[in-house]
Amino acid sequence: MILSCGEKPEDTAALEQLKQENASLQEQIASLQKENDELKKQLDELMKKAEVKELQVGFIYVSPVGDAGWSYAHDQGRLFIDKLDGVTTSYVEAVPEGPDSERVMLNMARKNYDLIFATSFGYMDPMLKVAQKFPNTIFMHCSGFKTAANMGNYFGRMYQARYLSGMVAGAMTKSNTLGYVAAFPIPEVIRGINAFTLGAQAVNPDAQVRVVWTKTWYDPATEKEAAKSLLDVGADVIAQHQDSPGPQEAAQEKGVYSIGYNSDMSAFAPKSHLCAPVWNWGPYYKEVVDAVRNGTFEPKPVWYGMEHGIVDLSPMSDMVPGDVQKAVLAKKEAITSGQMQVFMGPVKDQTGAVRIPDGKIPEDGELLGMDYFVQGVIGTTE
């Protein structure tokens, strides 16, 4: 060490000591600042949680949540909002439509649930009745058309994804006979069958769709037998508007293709399942929760399409050729962007009568009340 003139060794040592102590102090200050920032962040999060309105939300399902179908899809949406701060959810599954559903709704309302979702068409009138008795509870009915001051209805334009799945089926059939296992002859189901048929005919003008009604939303054995009856008359692709994978299993056992519904059903028929029109309820359920919390809830009908992500087509199987997948995805983009309308005329019914004139885009009311089959469907709307 070299000392300057007049500088003593002990002065240099003291200076070095001061530098070390200062560096240590700076480290302590930085550490305390970091701890302070972390504590402030935690406090902000606690304050936000304190400001969040607690919500108790109930769901009512017409079939078991393990059905891999309709109720399963809704329950995935429930789980999505269950992760939100201040939201507590519960559900009752396999509730028959009618008086039983009314009792479940009454029970939830009496327990001061803030928001109740009823997820089947036949729950509509019971929900309206209960909503009128509990004006401080918000009620939401799926797939219906009635509203009240505290009751809204919501659905998705599943016919858009049905059209895409019809394109896949029309491209994959060899017999030109497609089978469709359907629940009830209501506009929702009829509309889906028509869209599926139009999609199939867009790629295969010779394709026909045979329909069998089961008159049930969820009955695996009945659905499977209905699929078998379609296979017996030459169908080599089976589609469904049902809640169980029964039709998928029947198709795989026969060695033909299938189109699922509600969720990706490929796990039940990996050698058969081509794709599925699917639901994604989570983001919409969050939208409703946010509206209830913010005091901005409006009991208006909601009918979202692919542009909102509420409906979609599951990933297509590798069994679907690349050129077919490319065409389907291009059509999906056109539908999502609004460039293509599934039911743009001309659309003819089974008798050949024009129901939607050339170039016309039908109003939502026409689609919501659709009660006829288009050309190419074999079956009755009864």
Q: Which CATH number fits the domain that encloses residue 245?
A: 3.40.50.2300
Q: Is the peptide bond before 357 cis (omega within 30 degrees of 0)?
A: no
| C-beta separation of 75 from 65 below 8 A | yes
The distance in angstroms from the start CA to the end CA of the chain is: 104
pTM of the predicted structure, to 2 decimals: 0.85
Query: What is the per-residue pLDDT for 85?
Result: 97
Q: Number of structural domains, the chain? A: 2
Answer yes or no: do 353 and 257 share one domain: yes
Tell me what percent of the residues of the chain surpass a pLDDT of 90.
85
Mean pLDDT, to the nearest integer, of 217-234?
98
Q: How confident is the model at residue 34 (pLDDT cuts 50, 70, 90)?
A: confident
Mean pLDDT, to the nearest integer, of 210-221?
97
Let me know if residue 219 belongs to a domain: yes
Answer yes or no: do 143 and 200 share one domain: no
Q: To the nearest whole number, what is the mean pLDDT of the chain?
A: 93
Let me know if residue 29 belongs to a domain: no
- Last residue within a domain, chosen from 293, 308, 323: 308
Q: Is the pLDDT of residue 42 over 80?
A: no
Let me know if residue 85 belongs to a domain: yes
Answer yes or no: do 246 and 370 share one domain: yes
Q: Residues 330-359, buried b or exposed e (16+ Cβ, 10 A)?
A: ebbeebbeeeeebbeeebebeeeeebbeee
Mean pLDDT, to the nearest integer, of 142-158?
97
Q: How confident is the model at residue 381 (pLDDT cuts 50, 70, 90)?
A: very high
Q: Is the pLDDT of residue 11 over 70?
A: no
Q: Is the pLDDT of residue 224 over 70?
A: yes
Domain that holds residue 112: 55-156+281-308
Answer yes or no: do 292 and 365 share one domain: no
* Orientation of helix 124-133 relative to helix 99-110, angle to 10°: 30
Query: What is the per-residue pLDDT for 53?
Result: 82
Query: What is the per-residue pLDDT for 253?
Result: 99
Answer yes or no: do 329 and 199 share one domain: yes
Q: How confident is the model at residue 7 (pLDDT cuts 50, 70, 90)?
A: low
pLDDT digit string (tens) for 227-247? Answer: 999 999 999 999 999 999 999
Query: What is the per-residue pLDDT for 143?
Result: 95
Report the DSSP pairing between strands 277-279 and 302-304: unpaired
